[in-house]
Structure 1
Amino acid sequence: MTTVAYQGEPGSNSAAATVDLYPRSRGLACTTFKEALNSVTLGAADLAVIPVDSSAAGRLADLHHLLPESGLFIVAEHFLSVRFDLMTVPGASLDNVEYVRSHAHALGQCRKLVREAGWRTLVCDDTAGAAREVAELGDPRHAALAPPAAAALYGLDVLRTGVEDEPDNTTRFVVLSREATVPPRTGGPTMTSLFFCVRNIHSALYKALGAFAGNAVNLAKIESYQTGAGLNASRFYGEIEGHPDEPYVAAALAELRFFSSEVRLLGVFPSHPHRLLGLQARTVRRSS
């Protein structure tokens, strides 16, 4: 049986994404993102499912810091529609609630409900962990904002469903493996993730990014970060649309290497269908 590590407790969104991707797997709950990655590196798990981007909260895991040094590779991506329910101990009502618990990101994504009700917020390490804590407290004054699965898992009653501020709230997850599995070039939509360091020369970044523009390669994501005492913003994590075996992508990568001291592919994987839906939605909005 495949063992899949994730950050959080059973009933969390990461656990739900793991079940979506690998319904017959054994989940391995981890306290931190680094612990989840280390479990794969050390062989305690076969894969790790890590949230990296939220449409409501922005960047989640610091993948650009964690991934290059882990020795792991991205082999898949998954988009999860995120829902939060307000839940508390059996028999309690909305009138009883004075405190609401959840992860900081979840509290921020359900700000309207919390503000209107005037509840005090308590930050927890995990959304499902907040539900567990409410169940353990047994106090009707405490409620949790957690994914729907957490209510049944911890024996809680749901007071309100779908309380997130944005109905299209979506989180993107990536799957990490010890093996770099590169899918064959089939012509289907493909993503390539990479790490690169530009050379310390004049206009190096401008010229490096020009490699993508000049070869009509869409740079879907880029993040800069610093390492060491110098704090030079010369390291980058990026994701491009296309397969490295496609001529225009290969040409872009060759040009990028000319202006970089290091270029490392971190994963090649099929584009999730959600990307195409998002592109279609943007096209409709522009034409209307």
Structure 2
Amino acid sequence: MKKRVAYQGVEGAYSHLACYSQFPEYETIACKSFDETMYLVEEDKANIAMIPMENSTAGRVEEIYRLIPKMKLFIISEYYQPVNHCLLALPGTKIEDLKSVSSHPQALAQCKAHIEKYNLVARAKFDTAGSAQELIDMQDKTCAAIASSLTAEKYDLEILEEGFQDIKNNTTRFLVLSKEHIVPAFHEHQKYITSIIFEVRNIPAALYKVLGGFATNSVNIIKIESYSGSGTLTLSQFHIDIDGHPDEANVRLALEELAYFASTVKMLGTYIPHSMREILQA
């Protein structure tokens, strides 16, 4: 049976493009929400999910960070998708005819300067390709959408301007999620990222001591995010990404200190960094 990858959006969305680029042999399943995307994997109706985490121009995807503490899936890899936004409209439309443009809030943020240049009213929609699909139903030449060239091809829309994003090296980081906790074998010269969710104990300087354990063991923390945990405003959960594999001696020692000062610890996944990560961080 052909393997399946689930994504949020409609055909032509950037998540669909990322699925096609990374897993061309997989069948793709379009979902209405991120919750549905993850649910399909949890219920074995899809093998993996492709989820956008952050963009190099507009920052993190807020909804995903709210779902991470609750999700039952594990991170098995990351993928960086270059984003080339296009200004799309009905055939025969001219830029001077436009009054508004719609797209996902992330895409609108990534194209803010160009939207202001043409004095367009920005309208937030659920996804990029969905906003383009709406143009077909509306048949209004004063409206445009921001989406991919794949979307233009699929819905027979005209590309009024390519490279509509404000920053040309615009890239979105995706996570690949699986029901299985697949940890790659440790090899000495290979780089790894390990993602962890933990809740600190309610004692003085607990977070300081947790972070100190990584510092004293020379483990680099790439990212840290905080959430209100356990349904209270007094305890916090933290999501960290670190350089390293749990089987490395220094990482193992840091994790032991984490376990001592944390009330709960969940390993979200260990995976090999995508090749684009170093290029974007250079």
Alignment-derived partner of residue 241 in structure 2: 239
Once the two structures are superposed, residues 88-145 of structure 1 have per-residue CA deviations (whole angstroms, 9 ceiling, x without a partner) of 1111211221221111221121111211211222221110011111122222211111
The question of whether the paired residues in 1 share the 8 Å contact of 2:88 and 2:147 is answered with: yes
Distance 1:212 1:77 in 2: 23
Contact kept? 1:5, 1:49, Cα under 8 Å: yes
| 1:138-217 matches, cutoff 5 A | 138-187=139-188, 188-217=190-219
Query: Which residue number in structure 2 is paired with residue 34 of structure 1?
Result: 35
Q: Take 1:69 and 1:111, find their aligned partners in 2: how far apart are those partners?
A: 32
Q: Is the 8 A contact 1:41 1:70 kept in 2?
A: no
Q: What CA deviation, in whole Å up to 9, does each residue of 1:29-73 have, x standing for no partner?
A: 111111111111112111100001111121105444423433210
Partner of 2:7: 6
Q: 1:234 to 1:122 in 2, by over 3 A?
A: closer
Q: Which runs of 5+ in 2 are unaligned?
A: none
Deviation at 1:203, TM superposition (A): 0.7
Where do 1:18-57 residues align within 5 Å? 18-57=19-58
Superposed displacement of residue 209, structure 1: 0.5
Mapped to 1, the partners of 2:231 and 2:249 lie a distance apart of 39
Q: Could you tell me which residue of structure 2 aligns to residue 99 of structure 1?
A: 100
Counterpart of 1:286?
A: none
Question: Are 1:131 and 2:122 matched, yes or no?
Answer: no
Alpha-carbon shift at residue 277 of structure 1 (Å) = 1.7
Per-residue CA deviation, residues 194-235 of structure 1 (Å, 9 max, x unaligned), is 111111111111000111101110111111101344212421
Contact 1:197 1:235 in 2 (8 A): yes
- Provide the C-alpha distance between the structure 2 equivalents of 1:246 and 1:12, rounded to a whole number of angstroms: 39
Q: Aligned letter for 1:17?
A: A
Give me the whole-angstrom Cα distance separating, in 1, the residues matched to 2:254 and 2:266. Answer: 14
**The residue matched to 1:67 in structure 2 has which SS?**
helix
Which stretch shifts more, 98-107 or 71-80?
98-107
Q: Do the aligned residues in 1 keep the contact of 2:85 with 2:162 (CA within 8 Å)?
A: yes
Percent identity for Structure 1 against Structure 2: 40
Q: Which residue of 2 aligns with 1:261?
A: 263
Q: Equivalents in 2 of 1:276, 1:3: separation in Å?
A: 29
Contact 2:75 2:268 in 1 (8 A): yes
Of 273, 276, 280, the residue aligned with 1:274 is 276
Letter matched to residue 249 of structure 2: P
* 1:125 aligned counterpart, secondary structure: coil
* Pairs aligned (count): 280
Q: Which deviates more from structure 2 when the two are superposed, residues 61-70 or residues 149-158?
A: 61-70
* Cα separation, partners in 2 of 1:205 and 1:25, compared to 1, 3 Å: same
Q: Is the 8 A contact 1:101 1:123 kept in 2?
A: yes
CA distance in 1, matches of 2:263, 2:211: 14
Structure-2 residue corresponding to 1:225: 227
* Distance change >3 Å, CA 108–CA 278, structure 1 → 2: closer
